[in-house]
Amino acid sequence: MADSTDSHAPRSPFQVWRALRWSLNGLALTWRLESSFRLEVYLFALLAPLGLWLGENGVERALLVGSLVLVLVVEVLNSAVEAIVDRFGGEWHELAQRAKDMGSAAVFLCDLNVLLVWGLILLPRWL
């Protein structure tokens, strides 16, 4: 959509500020409306410094913290899917349920990825 006609998407470096405001608004809305996102941000605030401290080099630190960032990204996308599904009505529909369940599964897979990355990096040191 960034290149569509009559789009509000930024077209010059001066309009990047507007795009930043939209992104920050999306984060603020997700924070305000999604309790799971708030919980994941709290976990990120606790685990990211730990990951930076426990990583022995830049690659390990990037993997430890990056896996946590990925959970936040997918949670925002899952919340966006849920908002779109809810926009079209509150009555139950198989496709709406499927979309919500798949979004939840994506977050779950990211959570498993965190466990895998942290386990593969940290467990060999302790065993």
User: Is 34 an active-site residue?
Assistant: no
Structure tokens at 65: 């913290």
What is the C-alpha separation between 22 and 24, in angstroms, rounded?
A: 6
- Sequence-separated (6 or more) residues with CB below 8 Å from residue 3: 9
Catalytic site residue from 34, 40, 60, 75: 75
Phi and psi (nearest 5°) for 28? -65, -40
Which among 42, 127, 26 has a CA at the least distance from the CA of 83?
26
Q: Which residue has the tokens 């080099």?
A: 57
Task: State the angle between helix axes of 35-54 and 58-87 in degrees (0 to 180), rounded to the nearest 10.
Answer: 170
Catalytic residue IDs = 75
